[in-house]
Amino acid sequence: PGAKVRTVFEKAVAAYRAEGFEDEWQLHHQGGGTGYEPRDFKGAPDCSEIVQAHQAYAWNPSIAGTKSEDTILVGPEGFKVLSETPDWPMIEATFEGQTIARPDILIR
């Protein structure tokens, strides 16, 4: 809580760049605040919103041919991923020292 949404967005853009997908973020919106609308506002370089505790966000990073979308509830001390699916193959992803379970690619 208290971070600027545009700062979160800028970190996402930097992650695309670090993984070799520098321009992919421009092909689809990356998500933002959610509630009554699919996106109450979208994260973007010019977004003036501030991350609030008890606010939900739906983020959907994507690259050509694949997309990952989750709904996240921000708490006073952290966040909880609301859209976890325990029966799906998972991998661990670490960002800024925090490790979370993420859906893996399903291979049948």
CATH number of the CATH domain containing 74? 3.90.230.10
State how far the Cα of 32 lies from the Cα of 42, in Å rounded to an integer. 4
Question: Would you say residue 61 lies in a domain?
Answer: yes
- Facing residues of 78 across strands? none
Six-digit token string for 30:
């990356």
Question: Would you say residue 64 lies in a domain?
Answer: yes
The tally of domains found in the chain comes to: 1
Range of the domain at 84: 5-103
pLDDT at 37: 87
Question: Would you say residue 35 lies in a domain?
Answer: yes
Tokens 């973020």 correspond to: 25
Six-digit token string for 49:
């919103």
State how far the Cα of 107 lies from the Cα of 19, in Å rounded to an integer. 22
- The DSSP call for residue 50 is B
Question: Would you say residue 108 lies in a domain?
Answer: no
Question: Would you say residue 9 lies in a domain?
Answer: yes
State how far the Cα of 31 lies from the Cα of 12, in Å rounded to an integer. 11
pLDDT at 70: 92
pLDDT at 67: 87
Question: Would you say residue 85 lies in a domain?
Answer: yes
Question: Would you say residue 25 lies in a domain?
Answer: yes
Instruction: Please give the angle made by the CA atoms of 7, 12 and 18, to the nearest 5 degrees.
Output: 125
Q: Residue 94's CB: how many other CB atoms inside 10 A?
A: 8
The pLDDT profile of the chain, 108 residues, written as one tens digit per residue, is 999 999 999 999 999 999 999 999 999 999 999 998 889 999 999 999 999 999 999 999 999 988 889 999 999 989 999 998 878 889 999 988 999 888 888 888
